[in-house]
Amino acid sequence: MSIHISAAKGDIADKILLPGDPLRAKFIAENFLEDAVCFNEVRNMFGYTGTYKGQRVSVMGTGMGMPSISIYARELIVDYGVKKLIRVGTAGSIDPNVHVRELVLAQAAATNSNIIRNDFPEYDFPQIANFQLLDKAYHIAKDLGLTTHVGNVLSSDVFYSNMPERNMKLGELGVKAIEMEAAALYYLGAQHGVDTLAIMTISDSLVNPDEDTTAEERQNTFTDMMKVGLETLISD
Cα–Cα distance for residue pair 185/191, rounded to 1 Å: 10
Residue 89 is labelled as binding a ligand: yes
Cα–Cα distance for residue pair 115/184, rounded to 1 Å: 7
Residue 43 is labelled as binding a ligand: yes
Q: Would you name the residues annotated as active-site residues?
A: 204
Residue 180 is labelled as binding a ligand: yes
Residue 204 is labelled as binding a ligand: yes
Residue 111 is labelled as binding a ligand: no
Cα–Cα distance for residue pair 28/104, rounded to 1 Å: 19
Q: Tell me the three state secondary structure of residue 174.
A: coil
Residue 203 is labelled as binding a ligand: yes
Q: Tell me the three state secondary structure of residue 103.
A: strand
Cβ pair 1, 7 in contact under 8 A: yes
Cβ-in-10-Å burial (0-12, 13-18, 19+) of 151 comes to middle
Residue 20 is labelled as binding a ligand: yes
Annotated binding site: which residue ranges? 4, 20, 24, 43, 87-90, 179-181, 203-204
Residues of each annotated binding site for a purine D-ribonucleoside: 4, 179-181, 203-204
Residue numbers in the known binding site for phosphate are: 20, 24, 43, 87-90
